[in-house]
Every structure is written in structure tokens, then in C-alpha cells.
Structure 1
């Protein structure tokens, strides 16, 4: 792959370096855990300082695309594992797009249902009021790895006629002026029952991860109750903490 940065471009050097690194990540020779050229070599070939290069690298490390180890180097995250961070969360479509992972929807179903008591309690509504339920089975072209069930507060204003192939939170904001602002999540281990095993194409009793996401708007009002069932070998959840 050709390494080049336009030093006369109005685009900042670290932005150009970031875009180049994103392309580099897609190169087969660096995928599945392969090490990238070291910082000295990369900065020399790009004719930029190591500080500028490190700024671009740090952005991709933060997004979960690269892993850096002191004294070892930088490598591409294993493409077989989907990484999600606890900060600056995105919709599933946006997560996959940010990582350059091709996404396929195997199922998409919309219905109006009476909420279970736990969902009604979360939304602070009665169980006799129907809410919109969105079901999606998604994954890579070769097969599904996550089954989603999403429930939405009636206040959101969804009709069921929306194009749910679009990124969900982008659609909520642009079409319904609903900004998904806070996400509270729970991750737990589960054994696949018959229903989930059939959806994810695994054996009954296989290890899966259940990811519960509780989403609130800017006013901290609940807008979405989401359940995601992931193949255990296809999902990594990264938590970043800073000591103040």
C-alpha cells in the first residue's frame, strides 16, 4: 500500500494520517491481529512527527480499532471480534460503519405489543398501553451474530412506517427530534435457549452475551429498552476508566 500525505493540503496532518491508517487497517496483510509498521518507520515514510502520528493512532485505539502495547507495538484488532466502548456510544450500524465491518440484516420485524411489567416500569407507563417493538437479526454477510429486541416509549412518536434500515439514533434525531443522550448498559453471560440458538445458528446451551441497553433523551427521559443477544466469540466490551 502506498503511504503518502499531502503537506500542502488544508486538511490537518493528523487527520490525513488518521484516514491513511483507516485504509491501512483494511489491508489484508494487517488484519486479524497483524502488527503495523512501528511509529518511527511510519512517521519517516509519511514525513510527519511522531507526535502527529501518535495523535492519529490514539484516535483509532480509542475507537477500538487498534491495540497498542508498550515495547511490542501496534496491531489491528482481530476482525472476528466486535468491540464496543462504554464511552461515546453509537448505534449498532454506526459502530459497524466506524470499524469498516460489512453489515447484513437477516430479519427485521415491527409490531405493536403490550409491554411486560419490567419494560412498562422502565418507561413509567401502564401495561395496557401498546408500544412499538423492533426485532432485528444482524451480522456479517456470512452469518448472524446478534439478535436485537428494541422497545420504544410512545412519546418518541414512531409510527412503524419509518425506514429502520437507517442508523436508529440518526433516524430518531432527524425525523422525530429525539436525541439519544444517555445509555446505561448491563452485560451478562447466558446459555442460548432454543429460540436464540436458532437465531444465532449455534447449539442450544452455547455461551452467549446478553447486553441490555437503557437509553434516555437529553431530559433524561427513557426512550428505548434494548436487548441484544450476541455470540460470545463475536463481541468484546471495552470499559475505559480514568482516575481523577
Structure 2
């Protein structure tokens, strides 16, 4: 049975069970709790961490829901991993920045870069007229060499002057910040779509495999729409997570 070192901050607004789950997740993805290992039972974990049994139970349930742990009758709670899955909090950050921050190596293949006429949905998002020139960017994003996402973005043409080599070496938000764009807020929608044959080829999935479809409209500190993104992520390798706090 495995018990890892855990420290919780009782003064934090983050619930104790979330803090425990986050630290156990870090132990799993970091290898301190390898795939196949078993956790101590809830009573022993509660005693070891100085937490209540319901708190421990909630933390374990959270990791079960995330696919990192499984409960087996007669065996107990076992690590099943999925350590290769990218987990991303719901914050106004770029995938490139998030991968780098978690010591994953992001690689980018630029599939398209150039001006196009705004379609109806792009024009609505960027608050321009249909047919106006906008900058279209399409990239294939890899993490540690493994395909992860197809990233499609549309921006006002005057907001960014870049080339494919620069885009391949840097995150889009990093480039926008370098141009003096101050990102303030975004509206984001997450849904699911089956992969088309071409999307499946790029992402090394089977046609029809579930993909996470994310659309995002990002505004700067003046309320101007500066980016419209429509991205597709491999559901088998990617997840969003967030904490809900009662006020």
C-alpha cells in the first residue's frame, strides 16, 4: 500500500479534498505513485493526512472520475494512470504556455498562415463585416512529439505581423503580448465532435473518435475582440478541469 507526502493549507479557499486530489495527481503523473500501485484505504489515508474520511473519499472519487484511479473489489484503490493526458485548468492561457509550464515540450506545425475573407461566424466573433480580411492561422500542436490538437485562429490583420517560423517557435498569446496586446477576458464553449478522416489522420486517431471542440473569443483590456479560436483536442489525451467555489 502506498502513502505519499501531502501538505494541505487549511487557510486556502481551495477545498481540502481538491488540494489532496491535486497532490495525489501530481504524485501519479510524477511517478511517485506508479501505474499498478495501490493506495492505502480511506481510514489509513485520513489518519496519515489528518483529514476526515469524507474529504479523502471526495478526493479519491475526483481522481476516479479523471481516470487516474480505479476501485476494484477485493483489491482496493489502484493507480491506472493516463499520466500522458494533458490536464488544463480553465484560465485565459494558451496551450503552448500550459505545456511549457508543466515541463511538456510543445511542438508546432503551421498548416496555414495568411489573410482570408471573414466568414459569417468569424465576422460576428471579431466584430467586423463578412468578407473583411482577417488573419487565419491553423496549426497542429504536439506535446513531446505526440499529436494533441488542431488549433485554428482568426485575428484582425493589424493585430499581429508574424511568419510561420516564428509561429512554430512561440505561443500565439506570447506573440500577442509582445505586440502590446493585453488579453483581458474570453468567452469559451466546449463541446464534442467525431473526428473527420482528415482530422483523424492529423491527430493519429480513428475516424469518428471523440474530439473536444473548443471555441474561444478573446477580448483585450479595451473590450476589443482580438482573437477567435476554434480548436480540436484529442479527448483521449486532453481534459479541462476547474474548481467550483460556493460564494
Matched residues in 1 for 2:183 and 2:37: separation?
36
Alignment gaps of 5+ in structure 2? 6-23, 50-67, 69-75
- Asked if structure 2 preserves the Cα contact closer than 8 Å seen for 1:31 and 1:79, the reply is no
User: Which residue matches 1:212?
Assistant: 215
User: Which residue matches 1:80?
Assistant: 84
Q: What TM-score, normalized by structure 2, do the two folds share?
A: 0.66
- Indicate how the Cα distance of structure 1 residues 33 and 134 shifts in structure 2: closer, same or farther if over 3 A, else same: farther
- Asked if structure 1 preserves the Cα contact closer than 8 Å seen for 2:99 and 2:143, the reply is no
Q: How many residues align?
A: 199
- Indicate how the Cα distance of structure 1 residues 154 and 107 shifts in structure 2: closer, same or farther if over 3 A, else same: closer
CA apart distance, 1:140 = 2.5
Match of 1:234 among 221, 232, 237: 237
- Asked if structure 2 preserves the Cα contact closer than 8 Å seen for 1:185 and 1:213, the reply is yes
- Asked if structure 1 preserves the Cα contact closer than 8 Å seen for 2:119 and 2:131, the reply is no
Matched residues in 2 for 1:180 and 1:34: separation?
43
Matched residues in 1 for 2:37 and 2:99: separation?
20
**CA shift digits 1:17-37 (9 cap, x unpaired):** xxxx9x977754446697899
- Indicate how the Cα distance of structure 1 residues 111 and 40 shifts in structure 2: closer, same or farther if over 3 A, else same: farther
Match of 1:89 among 85, 88, 92: 92
User: Which residue matches 2:162?
Assistant: 160
SS of equivalent residue, structure 1 residue 181: strand
User: Which residue matches 2:179?
Assistant: 176
Matched residues in 1 for 2:95 and 2:36: separation?
23
Alignment gaps of 5+ in structure 1? 4-20, 43-66
User: Which residue matches 1:193?
Assistant: 196
